Every structure is written in C-alpha cells, then in structure tokens.
Structure 1
C-alpha cells in the first residue's frame, strides 16, 4: 500500500466517524504511522492542524443538517457532532460561519463549507529540490530534552522554537556548544555545534520528545546531559539554500512541506519510524539547515 493510499484511508476513517468518536490512534494506524507523526504530516501538508480540520468538517455537516432538516433540534445536532451543550456549539458555529445555528435555517443565508480532503499527486517540479541519500552507522547525541504536546499546549516552553529561544537566552545553548567537542567525521565541518533531534522515543500519542543536541565525540563532555543512540540508518537529507538567521523557522517549515508533498509520495522510499534531525550550519557568512529523515526503499 503506497503513501497516498494510506493517507486517504485515514481520511476515509475520519469522514465515516464525524458524527461519532474519532480515535486518533486509529487514524494513525490506517496511515501506518504514529498519532504524532500523522498530525505533523497533516499540518505541514495542509497548513491546518488535524483537530481544526475535524472541527471544520463537523461544523460544515452541522450547517447542512440545520438547513436541510427543519425538524432537527439544535441541541440534538450539537450532541451528534460532539458538543456537550447548545452554548458551546453555538459559540463554535458562530466562530466558523459568522452566524448563530438558528440563523442557519433562513433562506439565502451565507455559510462556509469545508469539503473532505483527499491526497493526490500534483504536477509541480518548477523548483528543484536538492537532497542526498546517505547510509550512516549508529552514533550518539547528547543534550537537553523536553516533551511537547502535539497541539502546542502545556507549560512554557511549549514548542521547540520557544525551547530554542529560552535556551539561548539563559546561556544553555552556548554551554552545550562548549561541551560538544570535535565534530565527528560524518558531519559537515561547516555545521554548528548544537542541533535538534525530534521523535527519537515514544512519549505517548499526544506528545513528542525534542532535544537540543550535540554530536558525541571523543572530546565531548556529556556530564549532566541526556544521551541517546541513533541507530544505523539510511538517511534522506534535504539541505536549505543559504539563509539569514531569522529565516530558520520559515525555511524548516518549507523543507518539511516539500518532503511530505513532493519528494516522499514519488521517491520510491518510505519514512522509517519518526526520528528526524535538524542540522544547522554556516558557510560564507550565511546560515543553513539540513533535515535528516530515516528512510528505506519501498
């Protein structure tokens, strides 16, 4: 079963259960990945979170029922689509459609409709996508780790970007760089000392781990840090063009989106597990980032 078919099977399940209970673990199972990985892929591909997509679909169907079934009570429709009270339903409905549920019954009233998503291969290819495939033996990284919620909730720092900012502000990034030691031979010598590694262990369906890390070498000082072993893998590595420092966030998001929408569906490879590395560097006065994805031939 190829990548597109798996993704569409997941969407089929969501669509069939909009008026019932949607188990995110089952969505992910049909896509042959974890809940965290599916939610990340979905948001990068569609520019909307999975939870927001489901909310929009439910409220689209609710609006259709209000228009087409004059005998249906608002409270019954609210409960059918997972709202515990007419008040919470009315608030969500008005936020999306700009009107109250009662007004949706009026002739000629304007409503919003969000159709079911389907994943297709589209013809792009205007811009080249640079990448390389490398097989590496196992290696170790060490650093400071946090566990984050998929939806960005939780205590600060509640996203990896804020984790980076906080760690820069309190000097922890610079301290980790000082303890990193020499870069191993399999890493570009233009690389910085501190990088990011994501989803290297299971922390639950609704969370993922992220570490600000350095590559461990014979001259590293790992005292006081967490250490993880990255197993031997084949990596698909996607480098950015030279960028300014303030463009890291946008550049990383673009590389992820192009990996999932352009490269992965047609490459003849599939992603192995979830582990991903973000390797940062500098050359000729410009900054850069590489995204490493563990892959195998299909």
Structure 2
C-alpha cells in the first residue's frame, strides 16, 4: 500500500503544473477517490489540495528568485490567471509578495516533496475485528460541530450537557444491537479532516426501531465494519486510536473506508481520567 501511495506522489510531482486528477491518483494507489483523500490527510496531516498548493508555490518561489521569466508567465504556468491572484497565493505561503521577494532576494518557505514510509514504534499491536451488519438506524440528537484533533471538544461537551437525562434514558431503551448503549457518531466530515472543519456529531443509539418525533434518525446501509478497541487516558485514547487506524492499520491491511458514519463507544472511569474506547469504521475489501 505504501509503495502505491508513493507512486501516486511521484505522479503529483510529474504533473505539478496541471490540475490535480484525484481519480488517477486513486487508480495508481489502487483505492477509491474517497479513501485516497482520507488516507492522504491522515498520513500527511494536511489535505491533498493544500499539499499540492504548497508544492506549486514552492517551485514557483524558486522561479521568482531565479528572475529568468516575468511574474505573469510564472503565475500562468502555476494556474493563476493574474498577477494579483498569484501575489495573494504567494504571500499566503511565503509571507511576502513575489515582486518584493524578487527585488530583495528574500528567504522563502518550502514544502518538501512528501513520501511515505513505515516506521515501527513500540511493541503494541492493534486489536480489531470485522463485523457484517444489516441496515440499521442511528437515532438520537445531532449538532454541527468543528473538528478537534486533541483534547476535549468544547462544542461537543456543551451539546451533550444540554441533553436532559430523560431523553438519554429514552435513547438507551431503543438500543437493540451492537454497539449497544449510547454511542458518539461522526458523519459528513470534510474529506480533508483538517482541524476546525465541521462534521455532524450524533449522540444516540444503534437500532432497528423508528425514531421518536423529538429525535433525529439516520439510515445506515448494510456492510462491513472494522471494530477497534483501546484503553488509556481520556480523551486521548480515542483520538490516538482514530489516528492509528488511518495511519497504521489501513496502509497495512487489505481494506479501505466506504461512505458511512464513524461510531465510537466510550466508557469513562469515575474520575474522568481513563477510558475504554471502541471505534467502528465502515470498510470494504480493497
């Protein structure tokens, strides 16, 4: 998998001055466009579009300093229709405009070419199982919240605290299948998974029952789920598990994500410091 991802990275470099063809990149990596975008963001830490933008402006920066071509020629080559558009993008990456950079021979910022390699850290293994589930519903309350990579998410904390205990009890009574009890669900995430991008957060249950009038419902298609579990400090154990699934498990296993919500069940200790976490990711054979 990593070898195919690196072949896709080489393709990006060979066609850096052309529009990004994600369909072709996914074909090279032998995966879906959907999975390629998510896997790249998880491994690289930035969205694919942002990486390509930085790489283009890194090469453009070298051409600006070389002084052999007009700024407009450089701008057009790298996909900008005017000097003004090029200058705005250039300044966003380098902190200085191209004209000033050329005149003063300023120091610029560079985005190195990226490649992926396997680094073995520690001696722990990931516990997982594959579960086939029929169609079901998520029933509960939902809110649109920003994505937070580390630490508590204040928007989610405030949302959950606003759900009264009677509503929670009625939710729990609807739970009739795995994962049982109250679950936390992320859906409709931006492909980049960048910090601050929004997602639908659900606080509810997995069920075959209809939703009460005061609750939302999300139908979920039948399919396979990869189920992971981990224990440790809260909330890091779940956040690190999420990270490790996408950066370690997917690159080394013959599965890819498929569209669908990501479900987590967390049991927090009485003092709020430790947690047992279970993560359900919709998958299909690669």
Measured against the shorter chain, the TM-score band is: 0.7 to 0.9
Correspondent of 2:249 among 255, 263, 275 = 263
Stretches of structure 2 that go unaligned for 5 or more consecutive residues are: none
Partner residue of 1:196? 185
| Kept after mapping to 2: 8 A contact 1:180/1:215 | no
Residues in 1 aligned to 2:208 and 2:108: alpha-carbon distance in whole angstroms: 60
Partner residue of 1:150? none
Residues in 2 aligned to 1:297 and 1:197: alpha-carbon distance in whole angstroms: 22
More displaced 10-residue stretch of structure 1: 206-215 or 4-13: 206-215
Residues in 2 aligned to 1:164 and 1:274: alpha-carbon distance in whole angstroms: 23
| Kept after mapping to 2: 8 A contact 1:198/1:208 | no
Residues in 2 aligned to 1:128 and 1:205: alpha-carbon distance in whole angstroms: 28
Tell me the TM-score normalized by structure 2.
0.75
Alignment of 1:1-298 (within 5 A): 3-68=1-66, 70-105=67-102, 109-122=106-119, 124-143=120-139, 157=145, 164=156, 167-168=159-160, 171=163, 175=167, 178-181=170-173, 183-184=175-176, 186-187=178-179, 192-198=181-187, 210=200, 212=202, 213-217=204-208, 221-223=211-213, 225-233=216-224, 235-244=225-234, 247=235, 251-267=237-253, 269-282=254-267, 284-285=269-270, 286-295=274-283
Residues in 1 aligned to 2:77 and 2:142: alpha-carbon distance in whole angstroms: 37
| Kept after mapping to 2: 8 A contact 1:276/1:291 | no
More displaced 10-residue stretch of structure 1: 204-213 or 56-65: 204-213
Deviation at 1:22, TM superposition (A): 1.7
Residues in 2 aligned to 1:271 and 1:197: alpha-carbon distance in whole angstroms: 18
Deviation at 1:216, TM superposition (A): 0.6
Stretches of structure 1 that go unaligned for 5 or more consecutive residues are: 148-155
Deviation at 1:78, TM superposition (A): 1.4
Residues in 1 aligned to 2:118 and 2:191: alpha-carbon distance in whole angstroms: 31
For residues 168-207 of structure 1, the C-alpha deviation after alignment (integer angstroms, 9 at most, x for no partner) is 365389736623425435436xxx413215469xx99999
More displaced 10-residue stretch of structure 1: 172-181 or 31-40: 172-181
The count of residues paired between Structure 1 and Structure 2 equals 274
Deviation at 1:25, TM superposition (A): 4.1
Tell me the TM-score normalized by structure 1.
0.72
SS for the counterpart of 2:226 is strand
Deviation at 1:228, TM superposition (A): 1.6
Query: Relative to structure 1, is the Cα distance of residues 162 and 184 closer, same or farther in structure 2, using a 3 angstrom cutoff?
Result: same
Deviation at 1:290, TM superposition (A): 2.0
Deviation at 1:265, TM superposition (A): 2.5
| Kept after mapping to 2: 8 A contact 1:239/1:289 | yes
